[in-house]
Amino acid sequence: MSGIIPMNAAAKNVSGLMTVSRSGFLVADDTSVFWKRWSPPFFEGALAGDVLTPGGNLRVVAVRGSEASKSEIKNALNNPDSSELPIFELVPGLEEPLLKVSRLALAAGVIYLIAGVLFGVAMPTALRYVALSYEGAVDTRHLLERKKVIDDYKVLKKNDIDEGTKKFVSDMNAAKEGSK
Amino acid sequence: MNYVHVKTMKNLIAAGVMIAVGDSLQWFGLSSMMERVASSTQTLMLTAYDWSAIQALLVRNIYDGEIMFWGCLSLVSLCWAVGCTLLVAAFYRFWSIRLAALFTIGAVVSTVALSAPLRFADGLWQWIVGIPSMGSVSGRAEIAAPPGSLVHTLFDTSVFGIMRVVLSIVVVLALSVLLARSLKRTNFHMKAVN
């Protein structure tokens, strides 16, 4: 049951300021529409040709052209009965439980994304710098090679086999000899 | 589809992409940390002892495999996060919101499905070895204790795990319902043409 419900006498006398379409509430030519946002509590406006897509019921002031001042609009929104300006309630109509579910999912998704950024980007970086300030163990092999702390080629050129390996090889040879 | 459906779909698509990206980023962080840990251990092993040439090569190669595994995993997760975002955004911008919704379902399901073996392996490993207490490790490991236990409490066990499971199920189901409904609406459109 979507619709545009007039809220005061002025609204009942005028017509055609807005029309309901499939994509929302279309503001007619030479008309401006204003409403109050709950959070943050600022006024918002739409001009002729704009389409309003409220997620819930929305009380709006419709003005031909821009002939009303801000304080007038504010007063009209607060006291619809005593106002000269036409005030309507836009009812999106579809009682959509999925819309509520989707909003909750969006909020939870934002929290999950923030957690992902914290654990995925902030914490590894922080831990890296914590480790850097305590001990140099975060230096990788490639970094140490670039800093000339270790050198693969030097190690390879030395090419000396340690005592354990020498003993192992000689033991193997002895075992081979023994088995023959 | 009227604008309320479009709004619902937009919210759900954003939530789905956030699940996929958040999950991939957590894997990215975990694997990049593990890569650095393996790399640091390799450096310590190489510099702390006088290895012979062949032993140095052996030590290097053993750790290089581990480093490569975690490095590949971190790169893949990062590309997965960026790719999912870009593809959904492209579908939404250049094709249609319904294709974007379809792809979001695909992204969420495949993120869960592809990370399942890793999660299973991780869970199995923890079940086998038990959860190590950082305090029992002597020396400078104490420095890592607070973040380690925090990660374990939040990331691995309850809060975000349950959140991820519930969120992905809700998003996939709700998007499927919306997509099925949006298919039904085409009859209405054809009637209007006649």
Q: Is the pLDDT of residue B149 over 60?
A: no
pLDDT at position B105: 95
Which of A20-34, A123-137, A163-177 shows the lowest mean pLDDT across its residues? Answer: A123-137
B61 vs B64: CA distance, rounded Å: 5
Which of A40-49, A53-62, A111-120, B132-141 shows the lowest mean pLDDT across its residues? Answer: B132-141
Nearest by CB to residue B12, choosing from A23, A102, A131, is A102
Banded model confidence at residue A134, pLDDT cuts 50, 70, 90: low
Chain-chain contact of A137 with B44 (C-beta, under 8 angstroms): yes
- What proportion of chain A, given as a percentage, has pLDDT over 70? 74
A residues 59..118 contacting B (CB < 8 A)? 92-94, 96, 98-99, 101-103, 105-106, 108-117
A-B Cβ pairs (cutoff 8 Å, strict): 169
Q: Is the pLDDT of residue B168 over 80?
A: yes
Which of A6-15, B99-108, B125-134 shows the lowest mean pLDDT across its residues? Answer: B125-134
Q: Is the pLDDT of residue B190 over 50?
A: no
Banded model confidence at residue A32, pLDDT cuts 50, 70, 90: confident
For A91-126, give one letter per residue: b (16+ CB within 10 A) or e.
Answer: bbeeebebbebbbebbebbebbbebbbbbbbebbee
Summarize the confidence of residues A30-48 as an average pLDDT.
Answer: 73
Banded model confidence at residue B187, pLDDT cuts 50, 70, 90: very low
Each residue's pLDDT tens digit, A67-119: 667 777 777 777 777 777 888 888 876 657 888 888 899 999 999 999 889 88
Each residue's pLDDT tens digit, B15-51: 999 999 999 998 999 898 888 888 888 877 877 777 7
Which of B162 and A112 is assigned the larger pLDDT? A112
Banded model confidence at residue B194, pLDDT cuts 50, 70, 90: very low
Chain B: residue whose CA lies nearest to A103: B11
| Nearest CA among B74, B134, B61, B17 for reference residue A152 | B61
Chain-chain contact of B25 with A53 (C-beta, under 8 angstroms): no
> Which residues of A are less than 8 Å from B16 in CB distance?
109
Instruction: Look at the pTM and tell me if it is higher than 0.80.
Output: no
Which two structure tokens, joined as six digits, stand for B36? Answer: 């650095």
Which of A148 and A90 is assigned the larger pLDDT? A90
Break chain A down into helix, strand, coil percent, rounded to 5: 45, 20, 35
| Nearest CA among A68, A45, A71, A69 for reference residue A58 | A45
